[in-house]
Structures are given as structure tokens and as C-alpha cells.
């Protein structure tokens, strides 16, 4: 099975109030947009910060951003690409594989993950890597080959830039700027 539809999942930190928005961009294999969803700004209270402690950001990213966005999309996606390592925990909450694209081997997530090199000539950087949970290690080679096929003609990092800009525009419309 080839990858026909990709979901790019990203966050946007709100500059004014310390909140965070999440967004998902579903594209075809040519990275043309098919669907876009964004969350309302999320700003944890001081009480939530106290209760959740070190796991607050992971809770926000997975439970309040990733899962609701992925459940809301109408398109059936084959792969979910992320930049933030905390999104990898979404692999335990839904059935579509979440894989992280990393431009630097030293930015590997802490914990039980595996990193493999990704040949992405359109990526703009000399090296890129795919990261996923160790339990999905056997799938990574197949995923790598499919993503490299797409990366022959498309920059797999560029849709994340589009997501950030789209979030900025959504937030600017909300605040009337």
C-alpha cells in the first residue's frame, strides 16, 4: 500500500498569553491540501499545572490536540507526520501510525524510540531522520521507503511551515489584528 494521504500535525505557541493551538493539515501524496483543522487556543490553568506537573504538555498535545483533531478529520489518512516528540504518544491512542521527522540526530526524543535515516533530497537539510516508538521499529523501513518516494518531488518539512502560518492567520482573525 502506498501513502495516498498524509496528515501533518503541528502546534503553535500563542505569543501573547502563553497558550497553545494545534492544527492538522491533511494532504494528498503531492502535499496538496485536502483538509485543515485547528483547535481553539488552550491555556492550562495554574491548578492544572499543579496537578499535571511534568506531564502537562504531553497531556495537552495528545489528549487535547492530537486525538480531537484526528477524530475530527473527514479524510482517511495513511500516515501522520509530526515534529514534536510528545505527539508520538498518540500512537497508543489511535490506529494510524504517527512518525516524527527529525532534521538532527541529536534531537531524538528521550525514551523508547528508534531513529532511522531518511533520504530526503527536497528537505533542504543534508540529513533527516524518521522516529517512532521501538515497538513499531519493524514498520519503519517500509514507511521510510514510501516517504522517500514522496520526498523525491516534495519537501516533507514544508507543510509544517504552512501549518504555522495558517495558525498565525487563524489567531490573527480571532483577535482582530
Give burial (CB, 10 Å; 0-12/13-18/19+) of 162.
middle
Express each pLDDT in 110-122 by its tens digit: 778 888 888 875 5
- pLDDT of 122: 52
- The model carries a pTM of 0.91
Asked if the 5-164 domain carries CATH number 3.40.190, the reply is: no
Write down the mean pLDDT value for the chain: 89
Is 1 a residue whose pLDDT tops 70? no
| Of residues 118 and 43, more confidently modeled | 43
* 23 pLDDT above the threshold of 70: yes
pLDDT band at 72 (very low <50, low <70, confident <90, very high): very high
Amino acid at each position: 500500500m502506498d501513502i495516498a494521504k498524509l496528515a501533518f500535525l503541528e502546534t503553535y505557541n500563542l505569543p501573547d498569553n502563553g497558550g497553545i493551538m494545534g492544527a492538522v493539515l491533511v494532504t494528498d501524496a503531492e502535499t496538496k491540501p485536502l483538509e485543515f483543522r485547528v483547535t481553539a487556543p488552550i491555556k492550562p490553568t495554574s491548578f492544572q499545572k499543579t496537578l499535571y506537573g511534568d506531564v502537562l504538555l504531553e497531556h495537552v498535545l495528545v489528549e487535547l490536540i492530537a486525538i480531537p483533531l484526528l477524530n475530527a478529520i473527514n479524510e482517511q489518512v495513511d500516515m501522520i507526520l509530526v515534529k514534536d516528540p510528545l505527539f508520538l504518544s498518540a500512537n497508543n491512542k489511535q490506529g494510524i501510525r504517527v512518525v516524527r521527522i527529525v532534521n538532527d540526530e541529536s534531537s531524538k526524543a528521550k525514551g523508547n524510540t528508534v531513529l532511522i535515516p531518511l533520504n530526503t533530497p527536497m528537505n533542504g537539510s543534508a540529513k533527516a531522520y524518521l522516529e517512532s516508538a521501538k515497538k513499531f521499529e519493524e514498520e519503519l523501513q517500509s514507511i521510510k521507503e514510501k516517504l522517500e518516494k514522496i520526498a523525491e518531488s516534495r519537501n516533507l518539512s514544508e507543510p509544517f511551515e504552512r501549518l504555522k502560518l495558517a495558525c498565525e492567520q487563524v489567531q490573527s482573525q480571532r483577535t482582530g489584528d
